[in-house]
Structure formats: structure tokens, C-alpha cells
Chain A
Amino acid sequence: MSDDLQAREQQRKRAQAVKTAWLLGFIALAIFATFIGVAVIGR
């Protein structure tokens, strides 16, 4: 694999990783909000 191709492949992987990270971050926030929300509604 040429250096150019490798660099592009790394960039592609990192871009995909950023998308995955946002998704996981939203899941974590949603869990936090759900637990507080359920407790508030339950009270």
C-alpha cells in the first residue's frame, strides 16, 4: 500500500471512529436522562 493510500485509509477510519463516538456519547446521555426522567415522573 502506498503512503498516500495508507494515510487516506487512516483518515477514513478516524472519521468513522468519530461518528461511532458521537453515537456512544448520545447513548450515555440518553441513559442518564432516562433514569432522572423516570424518577421525576415516578415521583
Chain B
Amino acid sequence: MSTDITHAIDGQADPDQVHDGHDESDHKPKGFLNRWLFTTNHKDIGTLYLILSLVAFMVGGAMAMIIRAELFMPGLQLVEPDFFNQMVTMHALVMVFGAIMPAWVGFANWLVPMMVGAPDMALPRMNNWSFWILPFAFTLLLSTLFMDSGGPASGWTLYPPLVLQTGSSLVFVVFSVHMLGISSIMGAINIITTILNMRAPGMTLLRMPMFVWTWLITAFLLIAVMPVLAGAVTMLLTDHFFGTNFFNAAGGGDPVMFQHIFWFFGHPEVYIMILPAFGVISEILPTFSRKPLFGYTSMVYATATIGFLSFIVWAHHMFTVGMPLQGELFFMYATMLISVPTGVKVFNWVSTMWQGSMTFETPMLFAIAFVVLFTIGGFSGLMLAITAADFQYHDTYFVVAHFHYVLVPGAVFALMAATYYWLPKFTGNMYSEKWGKIHFWLSAIFVNVLFFPQHYLGLAGMPRRIPDYSPQFADFNMISSLGGFAFGATQLIFVGVVWHCVYRSKVRATARVWEGARGLEWTLPSPPPYHSFTTPPEVTHNMLSYAK
């Protein structure tokens, strides 16, 4: 059987005829609760993560619509300033911790065991626990909006002393952050142990797909920095409720210390959201270019280098707090250094496409848009890294434009690409290519209408996190809001395409789905059996077209 799989991957056998020999009638647990609440199956848990993430995207997106509606015109229109600040804070927390991170964990759950030839995650019960903590954490976090003291209104950075004015709901915010952290750490432990311990025979580290590599490094980042965030918010809690003075200057504390601790978590967090995206793009571009990934080994080392550098650049978020000049220089140069491994990646992606037999299905369109638009976000990041210039840009809409370019046409577009790429594998049905392309083009146009004008607003001096602004900023804000409403509405098409693919599509997907796809997951039928690779495949040589 393992021989069949080897042949299938080499293209010597039809993968549609090949699976791991398991009965397709499956052994799904009977009953709704048994299937979903008590599940230990990596595919089911992956699905739960992806559903939660989609819901969080809708909730966080609705908050973004409120923000853009308020900013449509100068003056206070729709909401109170304090509620506006709560929306800004919650939009970020929901999108970061509820949408993007769980979406990547969902894809990791689905794909990592199949990609490394394992029957499931290494620790399936802990996997169940990791997921089911999340809905409770989010309910708790969102419930603060309905409490007397309101939700946190300090921005997602939770800087003291501002955040300490939150009132009694702060305790719920801190508790939910603790739960989110515990869930992330358990998820990361599961992914690391699966990759390090559960690989099929012959699946050496340098034969692993790039998505697995990027997730391995992401998981190490998570374990290193989530406890730091937990420590920071615990100290906020004791400052607020138990009379400690960690960050209270009047009591001998230092609010800048919180900023250092927060950003020691916060900057690697950015890479936690984007490294899996790099992995996805490195899977999709070779498939639709019908060429192996250019520079696989250098991609692995570049990812590891980015992971390492992410720990030594945190203070570029706080150039204006008054650090010693030597410190500012160190963090400026360290930050600029990240552009080297990132440049390696962009070069390799372009070289992968170079002279390839390219076709432009929806996943490929999102992947190409990612390369172009993420690079714009990278360049504006380079501008922000220049200490002297950052004194001008700091806390303006230029920063908002920068990180939204990295996270929306960056991480979110990669998530869209991944969904279109693997959804036929997950469901056994093809999505509507026509509607996929409509979704792509509208998203690609409106994401730029939404975020590009914010560069100009920032350069002209408009501060971030304000509900009202000077009339000179009116035109670009109106354009940005219109782009925002259109981008938000466009995502309803995405929900429709996914729903149609899962429940209504009559076009069945083949096992390989895409002509140029390589990797163990494509050797399984679409959809894969409930328990896959119960007999481990033997990866005997360069079957993945990736490496030596």
C-alpha cells in the first residue's frame, strides 16, 4: 500500500485510485455531541477551528464597519467616543486572536498530520481541549462590551495607565487573554510534537512541505511569547485589583516596562500570523506554476531566520518613548535586517513562477496578490523602521495602513488562497471558479481602496484611534470607508462560495484536485477518510519535488 502511495506521488499511478486502504465508510462517532464536542479527530477539530474563525471574521468585520462608518465624515456621527475606542480594541483582539490565529490552527489541524503521513495529531485529547477553550474565552471577551464599565478601550496593546481605567471588566479581559494563551500554547505543543514525533518513515525534516516547516517555527514562537503576554496581563491585573505598582509611576513602577514586555510578545505575534501564510504561498505557487519551489532549503533557513530576528526587534514599536540612541540604532538595524530573509522569500516565489506553465485559478490569484501587496506592507514597514522617520509616522494612519497591508492582503488573502486550494480536498466538492474569481477581483480592488488612502492620511498627520478628525482628512477617509464597506460586502460572496462548495456543489473533486499538486495529502481521496494514514506511507525519495 505504501508503495502505491509512493508511485502515486511520483505520478506513476492515478492518485484517484489510491488511498491508505482504509474503509471509506469511516468510523465517525454517532450523535452531534459525540461527533463535535468530544471529538479527538484532527479533521473535525480543524473544521471547528475554521468555523469559529469565520464567525470571528464576521464579528470583527462588523466592528470594522462601525469604525469606518464613524470615520466616513468628520465630526461625531454614530457612536460615543468611548464606544469607538472599545470597537478599535475589540476589532483588533477579535481579528488577531479569534480570526487569523484560529484559522491557521484550523489549517494546521487539517493538514499537518496528512502532510507528514501521521494518522492524527500526537495528542488528540489535548487538541479537543485547545479548541473548546476558545468559544468560552471569546464569549467572555465579547461580554465585556455589555458590562457597566464597558469593554477595554485602550487599543489591543492594553497599555497602562489607560487600560487601568477600564473598570471591573478588566478582570474578564485578562482572564480571556489567559485562556486564549493557554489554548494557543497547547495547540503549539501539539503541532510541534506531531511534526517531531509522528512523521512517516522517510519524511525527513528537509522533505517536509513548507507549510509544515513554517508552522513548526510558528509553534516555537507561540510557546516562547504567549507566556510573556500572560505575565504582562497578570501584572496589569495585580496593579488594578491588588495594589501592586508594576506599571504605576506614582508607586515607583514604570509604564514603559509594560510596553517592552508587551512588544516582546507583540512583534513575534506578527510573525505568528504571517509565517503560516508564507507556507501556504510556498505550496500554491509551485502547484499553479507546475514547477518545484525555487530554493526550498533557503526558504526553510529564511523562515527560521525571520523567527529568530522577530525576538530582537520589539522596541521599534516604541522609538518615541525616549530610549538611548544606541538602543534606537540597534532596533533600527535589527528591524531592517528582517528584509533580507523576507527578500529571499519574495525572490524565491517570483523565481518559482518564472518560466512556469502558469494558470490562474482562484488560489493562484490570491497567492500572486499576496506576493505583491504583502511586499507593499513590507516596504512601508521598512520606512517605519527608520528611527528618525518614525518620529513623524508614529501613531498615525500610516502605521494603520502598514499593518493592515501586512495582515489583510497578507495573512487574510493567504487564508483565502488556502481555503480555495484545500477546500475541494476537505469536502470532496469543487467550489464555483466563477464566483471565486469574482470574490478575488472585488477583494483585490477594494482592499486597496480601503487601505491605500490611509498612507496619505498618515503622512498628512492624521492620528490613529480617534473617532473625529480635522476636515482636511475628509476626502481620503470617505474613500477609505467606501472601500471598507465594499470590501466587507465582498466577503459575503466568500461565505456564499464556501457554503455552496460544502452543501450544494455537484462537481466532485479528484484526489489530486490540482494537476500540479504535490504532497501526501493529495494521495488521499477527496474528501479524505475519517482516519487517514493508519498505515504510514513510506517516503523513500524525492517524492515531494521539494528537496534533495
> Residues on A close to B: CB < 8 A?
1, 6, 9-10, 13-14, 16-18, 20-21, 24-25, 27-29, 31-32, 35-36, 39, 42-43
Contacts and interface: CB of A to CB of B under 8 A. Distances in A.
Contact of A17 (B193, B228, B235, B253): B193
Interface string B224-266: 1011101110110000000011100000110001000100000
25 contacts: A6-B536, A9-B536, A14-B122, A17-B122, A17-B194, A18-B123, A18-B193, A20-B193, A20-B196, A21-B122, A21-B123, A21-B193, A27-B223, A28-B189, A28-B223, A28-B226, A31-B224, A31-B227, A31-B231, A32-B228, A35-B227, A35-B231, A36-B235, A39-B235, A39-B261
Contacts of A28: 185, 189, 223, 226-227
Contacts of B228: 31-32, 35
Nearest to A12: B197
Size category of the B interface is 20 to 34
Contacts of B257: 39, 42
A12 to B, nearest CB: 9
A28 B192 CA distance: 13
B126 interface: yes
Contacts of B223: 24, 27-28, 31
Which of B193, B228, B232 has the most CB atoms of chain A within a 10 A radius of its CB? Answer: B193
A17 B198 contact: yes
Contact of B234 (A10, A13, A24, A36): A36
B254 to A, nearest CB: 9
A13 B232 CA distance: 36
B252 A43 contact: yes
B428 interface: no
Contacts of A43: 244-246, 252-253
Contacts of A13: 122, 197-198
Contacts of A1: 535
A2 B253 CA distance: 64
Contacts of B15: none
A42 B247 CA distance: 12
B40 to A, nearest CB: 12
Contacts of B192: 20, 24
B123 A24 contact: no
Contacts, number: 75
Contacts of A18: 122-123, 193
B245 to A, nearest CB: 7
Contacts of B224: 31
Interface in B189-214: 189-190, 192-194, 196-198
Contacts of B244: 43
Contact of B119 (A10, A20, A25, A36): A10
Contacts of B193: 17-18, 20-21, 24
Given A16-B197, A29-B227, A24 B189 contact: yes
Interface of B: 119, 122-123, 126, 185, 188-190, 192-194, 196-198, 223-224, 226-228, 230-232, 234-235, 244-246, 252-253, 257, 261, 535-536
B158 to A, nearest CB: 15
A29 B261 CA distance: 16
A42 B260 CA distance: 14
Contacts of A21: 122-123, 126, 189-190, 193
B235 to A, nearest CB: 6
A17 B197 CA distance: 6
Nearest to A16: B197
Given A6-B536, A24-B223, A39-B257, A17 B123 contact: yes
A24 B481 CA distance: 45
A24 B126 CA distance: 14
B246 A6 contact: no
Contact of B246 (A16, A25, A39): A39
B444 to A, nearest CB: 39
Nearest to B230: A32
A22 to B, nearest CB: 9
Contacts of A24: 188-189, 192-193, 223
A4 B383 CA distance: 60
Contacts of A32: 227-228, 230-231
Nearest to A20: B193
Contacts of A17: 122-123, 193-194, 196-198
Contacts of B123: 17-18, 21
B197 A20 contact: yes
B180 to A, nearest CB: 14
Given A10-B119, A14-B122, A18-B193, 4 more contacts: A13-B197, A28-B227, A39-B235, A43-B245
Nearest to A35: B231
Given A35-B227, A39-B231, A39-B246, A6 B535 contact: yes
| 8 pairs of A and B residues whose beta carbons are closest in the complex | A17-B122, A32-B227, A35-B231, A17-B193, A17-B197, A31-B227, A24-B189, A20-B193
A26 to B, nearest CB: 11
Nearest to B244: A43
A24 to B, nearest CB: 5
Contacts of B226: 28
Nearest to A42: B257
Contacts of B190: 21
Contact of A35 (B189, B253, B261, B536): B261
